[in-house]
Structure 1
Amino acid sequence: MGQNILITGAAGYIGGSVLADFISRTNGLIKAENISAAVRSEDQVQALSKLGVNVIQVDLRNEAAVNEAVLRNEIDVVVHTASAIESRIVSHLIKALDQRRKASGEEVVFIHSSVTALFATEGGWTHGEVKDTDQIFEMEKQIGDSHPVRETNILVIEQAKAHGVTSLNVVVPTVYGRGRGEWRKLSVSIPAYIRTSIKLKLVYKFDKDSSPPAVHISDLTALYALLVEKILHKEPVPNGENGYYFPMAHRAPWWDVMELLAEGLHARGLVLEPKAQIWPSDEMAAEELGFPLLYIRAMCTATGELVPINAYRLGWQPKWDLERFLGSMDDEIEAVQELDKVKPTVFDAILPFSNS
């Protein structure tokens, strides 16, 4: 019998795509019968129930419910995509894995999902260029701010170490492409620009250009699968304080993207001008895009000097590059028109205070 894997956020864009990737594999140790998918609602349970995996409706903010779900389903590996900002969810999952470790006597693993915007000046990063092989944990602690994502990154490593749990941190960049999950199929950034542009009849860009790290959703899910396969094979992988992974395939030149969206939307008669305009204010941008005002610059104008090493050393080979990315903007527009049916909830936990 193989080790059991729990994917949190399995109805989300990344989690759902990870789940679809995992269950589509016919070789290796990842097997559908060993996968559990954590979701929030009964509707999501029904949507995922046909996949041949164990679907669990659980409130991850409820410590007792998380502990019961992990122990009852004998979870050995958690792939956590549900939230990068809620430290109590991380704490509940790690503590539950500790209980599972004590019961089984075997290694347990927690794979966290963070965001690359933290490692740019706009995200409070003060150390300049950073490789994922650097001592990032100590660097994050030195910054000492109250950013919820950075606090959660630190908590992952500290609590995992204290509870005998092996931890890894996949630091997610800008993600694009159609998701393969059963519920949410659209990413955050580019679809937000598209739906907002259609609403306002104009495409807006920020007054500062940026080129953040980027990755296609299929390449990102391939990294999660590579990590899990190596864990199931009991191969050594960088973990704990050394277990950061930057899944960066290329950069996303944002002004180029906005101009391509303006051309594509104008050709469809969806906006009035084929050129992008400058946002009148950050406040307007945050309100219209649905992004937290407190982090709007980190999300939309940051570049960062990230250098990915760990994933490539393990054999990760992304199939999407800059040219292919820029050539996919028409498909991004079509995807929003076809698939924009589920309200984004990724910022629900921080929007109330960050926009005040």
Structure 2
Amino acid sequence: MSQNILITGAAGYIGGSVLADFISRPNGPVKPSNINAVVRSEEQAQELSKLGVNVIQLELSNESAVMTAVVSNETNVVDSQVVSGLINGLGRRREMSGKEAYFIHSSVATLFSAEGGWPYGEIKDTDPVLEKEKSIARGHPVRDASILVSELSKALGVTSFIIPVPQVYGRGTGEWRKLSVAIPAAIKSSIKHKMVHKFDKDASPPSVHVSDLAAFYTLLTEKIVQREPVASGEDGYYFVYTHKTHWWDTMQRLAEALYARGLVTAPTVETWSSDEMAAEYLGFPRPFVRAMGTNSPQLVPVKASELGWQPKWDEERFLSSLDDEIQAVLESDPVMNTVSQTLVSGK
């Protein structure tokens, strides 16, 4: 029995890659004709419409419009953004149709680090994660959103899942946005200022290649569509990562790769003189830049592999791919790419 799927942020880096992964599996239980892709702009809608999916142009901050879209399209949601209107719409649809409704929510793994306000140290995704999150004082918008997802979904009879997204890298496979955040920001800053920088504290954030992450979303969605038993609700947290990224080692490898291209003045790494400098150079919000750059959550993934997830990337493959990360950034900026070519050719 086919079910309609709605992907929010379908023109984004992760959402676009998830959509591309769905479409790449024509013999799977998720058919392109059952996919509804939410985008913000007309230009994005035109770009994605050629994929054979139903494209919905929608401003997700408009809760009424979101509820109407979910109810009228009879969709289950793979979400990466606003939650309240989506879950309310699913609850209304379930009440009207009597059919099961599902919601996959993307959170942030940084919240499970000391820098992100997490006081409990190591945690497995088989532990009572929601109970621990609820014990922490409210006020962080991302953590509050995860709690809202679980509580509101339960109240409305919607089956929910929460994926705390780790550091993601690699070229996106969607039609629109191709780059992640952290590593491209470091590359752009290094090229602009001719020097690679690091924080005064090393970090080892959990990381995953975007193709492996997209494959997990697809696997989980296929399990849902086929009505296989899957942990959900209060037990529906899934830690999805394949390796730790040791940040100082990464920055050193990045410095060597950029120096080989003539894009920085030395194959060495300097330390940020302050968090303010890091925020300015990287373009990150000052209140969050240290948490983003020094977090080392002690997450223990269990349930993803139990579902049958088989990721293909590890840390050494990641480190070996840094030159491609540089190339992807250059290709995204024609001016920067022209400067790079000029430096390499010596003209």
The aligned residue for residue 182 of structure 2 is 189
Q: Is the counterpart of residue 13 in structure 1 residue 27 in structure 2?
A: no
Within 2, Cα distance between the matches of 1:174 and 1:153?
18
Preserved contact between residue 78 and residue 110 of structure 1 (Cα < 8 Å): yes
Q: Is the counterpart of residue 268 in structure 1 residue 267 in structure 2?
A: no
Which consecutive unaligned segments of at least 5 residues does structure 2 have? Answer: 335-347
Q: Which amino acid aligns with 2:16?
A: G
Q: Is the counterpart of residue 233 in structure 1 residue 232 in structure 2?
A: no
Residue 47 of structure 1 and its aligned partner are, at CA, apart by 1.4
CA deviations 1:94-128 (Å, max 9, x no partner) are 00001111122111000000111000000000011
The aligned residue for residue 49 of structure 2 is 49
| Count of residues in Structure 1 that have an aligned counterpart in Structure 2 | 334
SS in 1 for 2:11: coil
Q: Which amino acid aligns with 1:79?
A: V
Residue 42 of structure 1 and its aligned partner are, at CA, apart by 0.8
Q: 1:216 aligns with which of 199, 209, 213?
A: 209
Over 3 Å counting, the alpha-carbon distance change for 1:306 and 1:340 in structure 2 is farther
CA deviations 1:242-292 (Å, max 9, x no partner) are 100111101101011101111111111111111110011101111221112
- Summarize the alignment of residues 74-223 of structure 1 with structure 2, pairs less than 5 Å apart: 74-75=74-75, 77-81=76-80, 83=81, 89-223=82-216
Within 2, Cα distance between the matches of 1:80 and 1:168?
10
Larger Rg: 2
SS in 2 for 1:167: strand
The ranges of structure 1 where at least 4 consecutive aligned residues each deviate by more than 2 angstroms after the TM superposition are: none
Q: Is the counterpart of residue 321 in structure 1 residue 320 in structure 2?
A: no
Within 2, Cα distance between the matches of 1:141 and 1:302?
21
Q: 2:330 aligns with which of 337, 340, 343?
A: 337
Preserved contact between residue 220 and residue 247 of structure 1 (Cα < 8 Å): yes
Which consecutive unaligned segments of at least 5 residues does structure 1 have? Answer: 84-88, 342-356
Within 2, Cα distance between the matches of 1:340 and 1:30?
35
Residue 27 of structure 1 and its aligned partner are, at CA, apart by 2.0
Within 2, Cα distance between the matches of 1:45 and 1:147?
32
Preserved contact between residue 186 and residue 340 of structure 1 (Cα < 8 Å): no
Within 2, Cα distance between the matches of 1:334 and 1:244?
35
Q: Which amino acid aligns with 1:150?
A: R
CA deviations 1:65-105 (Å, max 9, x no partner) are 11121122121x10002x3xxxxx31100000011111221
Within 2, Cα distance between the matches of 1:284 and 1:336?
22
Within 2, Cα distance between the matches of 1:289 and 1:326?
21
SS in 2 for 1:331: helix
Within 2, Cα distance between the matches of 1:209 and 1:223?
29
The aligned residue for residue 3 of structure 1 is 3
Q: Is the counterpart of residue 255 in structure 1 residue 248 in structure 2?
A: yes
Q: Which amino acid aligns with 2:316?
A: E
SS in 2 for 1:245: coil
Within 2, Cα distance between the matches of 1:339 and 1:34?
31
TM-score by length of 1: 0.92
Residue 145 of structure 1 and its aligned partner are, at CA, apart by 3.6
Within 2, Cα distance between the matches of 1:91 and 1:132?
24
Over 3 Å counting, the alpha-carbon distance change for 1:340 and 1:252 in structure 2 is farther
Residue 294 of structure 1 and its aligned partner are, at CA, apart by 1.1
Preserved contact between residue 212 and residue 302 of structure 1 (Cα < 8 Å): yes
Q: Which amino acid aligns with 1:120?
A: S
Residue 213 of structure 1 and its aligned partner are, at CA, apart by 0.2
The aligned residue for residue 245 of structure 1 is 238
SS in 1 for 2:66: helix
RMSD: 1.0
Within 1, Cα distance between the matches of 2:136 and 2:71?
36
Within 1, Cα distance between the matches of 2:62 and 2:229?
32
Preserved contact between residue 66 and residue 93 of structure 1 (Cα < 8 Å): yes
TM-score by length of 2: 0.95
Residue 172 of structure 1 and its aligned partner are, at CA, apart by 0.6
Within 1, Cα distance between the matches of 2:320 and 2:259?
17
Within 1, Cα distance between the matches of 2:214 and 2:208?
10
CA deviations 1:166-200 (Å, max 9, x no partner) are 00001110000000011100001100100111111
SS in 2 for 1:140: helix
The aligned residue for residue 344 of structure 2 is none
The aligned residue for residue 284 of structure 1 is 277
